[in-house]
Structure formats: structure tokens, C-alpha cells
Amino acid sequence: MGNLALEVRYALRERVVIASLVLAFAMASYAVITGKLEVDEQRSEISTLVRETESDQDHVLGQQPDAGGAAYYVHHVTYQPPSALAFAALGSRGELPWQHRVRMLALEGQIYETDAGNPALSRLGRLDFAFLTSVLLPLILILLLYDLDGRERRDGRYELLSATSASKGSPFFVKAGARTLLLFAASATPFAVMAAFVSAPLGPSLVVAAVVALHLCFWLVICRLVAVRFTQASSSATVLLAGWLLFSMAVPAAARIVVESSVPVPAGGELLLAQREAVNDAWDLPKADTMEPFVASHPEWRDHAEVTQPFEWKWYYAFQQMGDEFVASESAQLRAGITRRDNLMGVAALLSPPLATERWLTRLAATDRAHHQRYIQCVRGFHAALREFHYPMLFGASEYSPEKMAGLPKYQPCDE
Amino acid sequence: MMDKAAVVRIAREEWRFWLRSRTAVAAAAVVFILVITSLVSTAIRIETEREARLQLQAIAEETFRSQPARHPHRMIHYGHYVFRAPAPLATADPGVDPYTGTVMFLEGHKQNSATFSPRYTQADAGPYAFLSPALTYQLLVPLLLIVVGFACLARERETRTDQLVFTMAVNPGSFWLGKSLALAALAFATLVPLGFVAGNAWLQGENGWIALTFWLGYAVYLLCWVFLITACSVWSKRASTSLLALLACWMVLNVLLPRIASSAADAWAPLAGKVQSDLEIARELRDVGDGHNANDPSFAKLRAQLLAQYDVSSVEELPINFRGVVAEAAEEELTETLNRFADRRFDQELAQAELANAFSLLSPYLALKSFSITTASTNIGQHHLFLRSAEALRFSFVQSLNKVHAEVLTYADDVNRSVDQQSEQRTRVDAHHWRVLEDFDWEPASVSDRLSGSLPFFGMLLMWALAASILGWIGTSRGAWSQDG
């Protein structure tokens, strides 16, 4: 340990080391601060949405004379609040919708609506803590370590150093370890401060720090392996860069192509077209064509399913639901396909530590695909609850009254 | 004095040196393989998507036009789908394509969002899982140039071979120029595949000047790197210092700054979400009146106007269907509001993009990225153009149907259709009316817009190339050589 402390002191005397540490610290601070600003922005947006939706609902409900109108005109807002650690890994929140405005119509026509960030910025990506640790820190570490042996060789101190070293292993391993440790401290400190500031849960925060440390350890080992094998500094730099390219770009890109071609998903456009036909065809078909299959899958409404007028609300909502059920299997295939792709990508990430790091961090921050899927499920659950609430009044099993609408389900984010 | 023959000779000797170096050859081979792979895989992906989307577009149009007789307002809610086909040069630079929705539902009273962006169904494969040809040229080719060229001058100084060259009446300026020429030749060699892509886009109907400018932009960008590399090599005493400086440059300019730019733009000029705008719209529309309800007090003025115009005393006596007139008027007023909010969103997105673009001054990588998507017409402006064209189509078919509603149906039937089967049958208008739907074709931005839009970024790239070359030139007299004495 004494050796390590000594090496840390030596390292801190070098300009390159100081510059790298300052850069890493500055970037990490920038990343967590802009991440926090973004999360704050999203939280305030959610509270605005909830407030505005309530006032909108109050306004709309006051005007509705019947159950059908109340169900038709009232909109609800659903959302996925950012987790406490979201500031560290914004993940899919810029690209996939985390808020929806839904109503009692067929859900398949609404759930794919996309309220996402600015594509012009998504294209550039964000500098969040996850990007910093998965992509940039390895690069900085490579710059710090590639020349460690080469320089001593060039200056003619290599043999002397190796011969006089007190430790059993290579003196360079301790040297490299000291630099890695410093880099870890410089980048993890801003994260730790921000995590404490937003009172993020301790356990997951520690796991984040551990993931970062593990990732740096991986690159420390790679750097040492290469440095021992290639005596020339420039060759070792080239090889390390190639390694960085391989792990950060080539493996993920190749894995993505393999995963996507082996797990096909239904085309979204086709699903939407099919869903619309199913819903709209009902207008031109005899009412029985809608109501019979409807009571077959929802026998609880058998006694209330008779339709006599050219237009009745219960028939209207029945064919909305039948439209959803018509594409239910494609929709389920789509979700299963997305989940399967992501799971396979998780396996492929074993071959790419940078990707594994990024995926771990987004998972801990609840901003990964799996959490997005869970949010979508949550919206589906809420929509089902809406149907359950409205159907008795629509089918005439109970009388509509404005007072009853006080019991209208309110969206609650599902527990993570 | 510049000795042309000497410059060429130096360049040729540098190439000979590289061809003997295993690292250089291996690095070049790897980058070439990556470039070709990304070219082929992106072309296949974009072409498959283009075909699929065009096919779905044709199906959607055919389906709409072949609907049976119906109440015209039903068709407004039946709606229509439009699909966004990628621009020809998207095979070289997909730009915002992966992040923007590909299909959009058009219906009355509402502007929906474009859904199913390619990202929707993709697994999380990290930030660099899409190696588009553009990205390989922007990110990887400079890295190849660095690895091959970082030592081109510093190496000669370390081994003192430079003095040998200088004794042969070659001055440091020619020496530097020769090395730059060698590296530039390598850069142009890497640009050959991109030339094929640009040429292919031209054959596919892209404007020839656009294709050429696109390629030229990448050439100037790589020239920036050539001069940055030789300048660094001139100023550095040791090859290892040069490598360290260049890699740090590459990391800051190509990996770090773009992301700082986007985070900064987002923090400085936040964007109002679509759901939030929809709620604001709903609040504002409370005063517009519901177009489904002809008795809505908001339409009292319209009613009085029509009654006076046709000199009748009740809406029942009007020769046109009052409900249809109301629907048309309401849609127009509503669309005005919707467009105002849509414009606000476009403005906000453009403002953010411009803030991020401002960082182009600091990074040739960012300048090229903006140049590339503007020329290829895969930028955010192009996406807005798609959204605007879709909105124009929506408004046109909705209003045409509202006109049918007003002129073909009778008010009495329209009022009674929910309770009377015969009225309901009479309100179903003939299917030939569905032919009002126009084909959806939206064009890329005009050639002059694309060229003039990309000009500032092209200028920035030229400035960078010029600045780097001046830096290198000064280095030949004031850099490490002058310190050697």
C-alpha cells in the first residue's frame, strides 16, 4: 500500500496526469450537472402535465350529459418519472416516449404516439455520466498508460527501475494502478457528490461506483497486457486504440446487426394499418358482428349487449376494444421482439465491457429498454382500469352521474 | 523556395515507409474494411426501409380510396397514414432518420406525432452501434490518419534523419509539405468508396452538384486533419508527444465537444413536450367550439351570417348542410391553433439545433456533421418539411370531405342519422368522393437551399484547414527545428 501512495504522489507531479484528471473531473461535473438539470426539467414537466390534465378534466366533465361523452372527451396523462439516479444515465429518455395522453379509444392507436426529445440533439447524443464512463474514461486511461514503460525505456531507466523495485510484481503495475485510481477518484467524486445531493439510494449508487471501477480495472489490465507485449510506445498506443475501437464500436455494431436480423419484429406501420381497419370496419358491419365476439370474450356484459340504434356508445367502445384485440397478437409479438432483442444484446454486451457498463448504468438509473417496456405495460394496465371503470355506466349496468366521475381512475406510475 | 520535385519525392518516400510498417498497413486495412462494411450495411438497411415505407404508403392510399360509401365525417376519423421515405443520400449519412418517426396518422381535429422511429424497436447497443458511412469518415478515418501520420516529421527529428534531408538542399517547408502531401494522398484514397456512394446517389436521382459538394466537404474535413497532424508533428520534439496531443485533440473535438454541444443546447433552450403542447392547445381550444356540435354557441355568428346570406329563417331551410359548414369552419380555426403550436415546436427545435451548431466553430467534426446532413438533406429541417407536407395533406383531405359533408348531405338526414336507419343510409355518400385524397409526395429541400445552408459549415471547414496549414507552416521555421539550433 505504501508503494501505491508513493506512486500516487509521483503521478501527481506529472503535467499530463494533472491535465487528464482535471479534464475527467470537469467532464464528470458537467455530465452530472446537466443530467440533474434535465431530470429537474422532466420532473417539472410532469407536474405541469398532471396539473393541466386535472384542470382539463374538470372542465370537460362539467359539460358531459352522458357516460359515452364523459368517456370520449376525458383525456388522461401517463408518464414515467425519472428515477433518483437518472441524472447519471439519461438512457432512452431522449429517444423513446415517457409520457402519453390517452383516452378510452382503442389503445393501439395511441400507445405508439411519440413525444420524444429533439432528434437534432439525439443524433449528437448527450454527455451523461454513463457515456463518460463507458466511452471517454477508457480513452483517457489509454492516454495515461500507453507510454508508461516506453518512456522509461527511452530514458534508459527501465532496467534500473525493474531491478531496484521492492515489490514482487512489475513496478509498472503499481504505477498504472495509481493512475487508474486517480482517474477513478476524479470522475467518481462529482457523481458521489450529486448522488448525495439528490439523496439517491445508497446501494444502487455504490453499484454505479463499482461498475465504473470494474470497467477501469478492465482497461488497466488491457493496457498492461499490451504494454508488456509491445515495447514501442507508438505501437502500444495503436494497439490500444484498436482495442478501444473493437470493444466500443465494432463489437456492439456487429452484435446489433446479428441480433436484429435474428429477431425480426412486426412492422409498426402494418400494425397501425391493421388496427385502423379493425376499428373502422365496424361502422359498415351489422352491430352483431361487433357485439357477438365482444360478449364472447367479455361474457360479463352479455345481458347488456343489445344494440338497437344506428349509434350507441356501448357499441362504439366495444368495437374500439375489439380493434385492440384484433391486433393483440402482433402487438404482443412486437413487445416480445423488443424485449428479446434487448436481452440478447445484454448477452452480447459480455463481449464489450464499454457496452456492458453503459447498459448496467442505464439499468440502475431505470432508463433502459426494460424499464421503458415496463412503463408501456403500466399504461396498458391503466387503460384497462379505465375500461373497467367506464363499462358499467356505458352498458347501463349502473346509472351515469357526474358525481360518479369523482371515482375516475388517476394514473399512478407503477412501482419499479 | 519550394522544390516541387522534392516535395513529391518526400511524399513518395513516406508512402514507402508506411507500406513497410505493419501497424500502418494493418490500421489502414481495418479502417477500409469498416468503411466498406458500413457503406454496404447502411445502404441495404436504408434501401430496405425506403422500399417498405413506399410500399406501405401505396397500400395506405389504395385503402383509403377504396373505402365503401360512408358518412364523410367517418372518413375524416378513418384518417390516412403517411410514411417518411429517406432521402437518396441517407445511405451515406442517415442524419436524424434513426431518431424520427417513420409513420404518421392523419385525421381530423388533431395533429398526431410521427411514430415508430427506427430506434423504437432497437436494442440498446451503446452510443456507436450505428456505424454509418458518415460516422466512419467523421470519426474513424481521422484516427487512421493520426496513427499513420503522427510521427511523419517528429520521427525524422528523433532519429536525426531530418538533418540528412536538409543537407540535400531541401528546406523544412518542402519537407513539411511533402509529408502533408503523402498524408493527403492517403486521405483521398479513403475517400474513393465515398465517391462511389455519392455517384450512386446521383444515379438514383440526387442532384449532381449536391453529390459532388457532399464529397468535397468530406475531402476538406480530412484535409483539416492532415494539416492538424503534420502541424502537431512539426511542433513536437518527440513522436510520442505528437501522438498524445493528436489523440487528445481527436477525443476533445470528435467525441467530447458534440455531446457537450447537445447537452448545452438542451439546458439553455428547453423544449416544450408534445403532450404539454397538446394540453395547452386543449386549453386554448375551449373557446373555439366543438365542430361536432352545430349548436355550440361559438357558431352563432356563422349561423346568423348564413341565414342572412340565403335569406331563410332556420338552418333546416338552408340549401347546404349547416353541420358540414360548421365542421369546415371549426377545422380551419382549429388548424390555425394547431399550426401555431407546431411552428413553436419547430422553432424551438431549430433554436436548439442552431445552439449546438454554434459549437461547429470549435470543432471541424461538428462543422462537417452539420454540413453533411444539410447537404444530404437528412437534417431536422428536412424532418420539419415532412411534418409540414403531412399537415398540408391532412388539412386538404379533411376540408375536402367537410365540403362534401356540407354540399352533398341534407341537414335533416344528418341530424337524424343516429336514430333513423333510413337517414343513416342516406348520409352515406358515394365512394368516388374518397378520390379527393392526394398522393403524398414530399420533396427534399431545394438544391439551392441545401447548398446555401451548408455553405457556412463548408467555410468553417476551409478555415480550419487553412488555420492548421498555417500552424504547420509557421512550425517549420519556429517549431522544434528552430530550437535544435
For residues A140 and A20, the answer to whether their CB atoms sit within 8 Å is yes
Residue B485 has a pLDDT of 43
B95 touches chain A (CB under 8 A): yes
Please check whether residues A232 and A305 belong to one and the same domain: no
ipTM confidence: 0.89
Are A318 and A388 part of one and the same domain?
yes
Residues of chain B with Cβ-Cβ distance to A233 below 8 Å are 240, 243
Taking CA–CA distances from A52, the nearest residue in chain B reads B279
Query: CB within 8 A of B21, min separation 6: which ones?
Result: none
Helices (H) and strands (E) in chain B, counts: 20, 3
CB A321 within 8 A of CB A390: no
- Is A416 inside a domain boundary? no
Q: What is the pLDDT of residue A147?
A: 82
The domain boundary, picked from A262, A296, A319, lies at A262
Domain count for chain A: 2
- Among A237, A262, A287, the domain-final residue is A262
What sign results for the dihedral spanned by CA atoms A287, A289, A290, A294? positive
Contacts of B82 (CB under 8 A, 6+ apart): B57, B60, B103, B104, B106, B390, B393, B440
Cβ-in-10-Å burial (0-12, 13-18, 19+) of B287 comes to: exposed
Q: Residue A322, CB half-sphere, CA atoms under 13 Å: how many?
A: 25
Q: Are B461 and B221 in contact (CB under 8 A)?
A: yes
**pLDDT number for residue A99:** 94
CA distance B123 to B294: 49
* Chain A / chain B CB contacts < 8 angstroms: 276
For residue B444, give the DSSP letter.
P
Nearest CA in chain A to B366: A124
Residues 317 through 356 of chain B touching chain A, CB cutoff 8 Å = 348-349, 352-353, 356
Continuous segment of H or E residues that includes residue A77: strand A76-79
**Same-domain check for residues A245 and A293:** no
B-chain residues within 8 Å CB-CB of A348?
A: 125
Rounded to whole angstroms, how far apart are CA atoms B179 and B14?
7
| Cα dist from A87 to A26, A134, A192, A350, whole Å | 16, 15, 12, 25
Question: CA of A37, closest CA in chain B: separation in Å?
Answer: 7
Alpha helices in A132-249 (DSSP H): 137-145, 148-154, 158-164, 171-197, 202-229, 233-245
Pick from A308, A284, A288, A285: which is nearest to A296 by CA? A288
Q: Could you tell me which chain A residue has the CA closest to the CA of B78?
A: A280
Residue A141 and residue A241 in one domain? yes
> Is the CB of residue A144 less than 8 Å from the CB of residue A181?
no
Asked whether residue A114 falls in the same domain as residue A140, the answer is no
- Measured between beta carbons, the chain A residues lying within 8 angstroms of B151 are 234
Q: What angle is formed at CA B118 by the lines to CA B112 and CA B119, rounded to 5 degrees?
A: 95
Distance CA B71, CA B429 (A): 6
What is the distance between the alpha carbons of residues B251 and A65, in angstroms, rounded to a whole number? 64
Q: Note whether A285 and A253 are same-domain residues.
A: no
End-to-end CA distance of chain B: 21
Closest-CA residue of chain B to A335: B121
A375's grid cell: 412503463
Interface check for A215 against chain B (CB to CB < 8 A): the answer is no
Could B275 and A100 be called an inter-chain contact, meaning their C-beta atoms sit closer than 8 Å? yes
Q: Considering the domain boundaries, does residue A368 fall inside one?
A: yes
A255 shares its domain with A312: no
Residue-level pLDDT, tens digit, chain B, 485 residues: 567 888 999 999 999 999 998 888 888 898 898 899 899 989 888 898 899 999 999 999 999 999 988 899 989 999 999 999 888 889 999 999 989 999 999 999 999 999 998 889 888 898 888 889 999 999 999 999 999 999 899 888 888 888 888 888 788 889 999 999 999 999 999 999 999 999 999 998 889 999 999 999 999 999 999 999 999 999 988 888 898 899 999 999 999 999 999 999 988 888 888 999 999 988 888 766 666 776 777 788 888 888 888 888 888 888 889 889 989 998 998 999 999 999 999 999 999 999 999 999 999 999 999 999 999 999 999 999 999 999 999 999 999 999 999 988 888 888 888 778 888 888 888 889 998 888 887 777 899 999 999 999 999 999 999 999 999 999 988 766 765 54
Last residue of a domain, one of A235, A262, A289: A262
Q: Are the C-beta atoms of B293 and B357 separated by less than 8 Å? A: no
Which residue of A110, A123, A126, A234 to mutate against B (max B Cβ within 10 Å)? A123
Residue A376 and residue A291 share a domain: yes
Residue A415 Rama label (left phi>0; alpha psi -120 to 50; beta): beta
Q: What is the DSSP string of A168-201?
A: SS-HHHHHHHHHHHHHHHHHHHHHHHHHHHTT--
Count of C-beta atoms within a 10 Å radius of residue A157: 12
Nearest chain B Cα distance for residue A3, angstroms = 27
Residue in B120, B153, B159 to test binding to A, most A beta-carbons within 10 Å:
B120
What are the 10-residue block averages of pLDDT along chain A, 416 residues in total?
A: 80 90 96 95 94 92 87 94 96 91 93 91 93 95 86 72 66 88 97 96 96 97 90 84 91 92 91 89 87 90 85 91 93 95 96 96 95 95 95 88 89 84
Phi/psi region, residue B269 (left: phi>0; alpha: psi -120 to 50; beta: rest), is beta
Contact B53, B90 (CB under 8 A): no
**What does the domain layout of chain B look like in residue ranges?**
4-484
> Domain span at residue A157?
2-29+129-262
Residue type, A318: A
Asked whether residue A48 is domain-assigned, the answer is no
Q: According to the model, what pLDDT value does residue B131 have?
A: 87
Same domain flag for A359 and A280? yes
Q: Which three cell numbers stand for residue B146?
A: 493520426
Cα(A310)–Cα(A287) distance, integer angstroms: 8
| A189 and A296 both lie in a single domain | no
In this structure, are A82 and A155 located in the same domain?
A: no
CA-to-CA distance for B479 and B485, rounded, in angstroms?
11
Record: contact A233-B99, CB cut-off 8 A: no
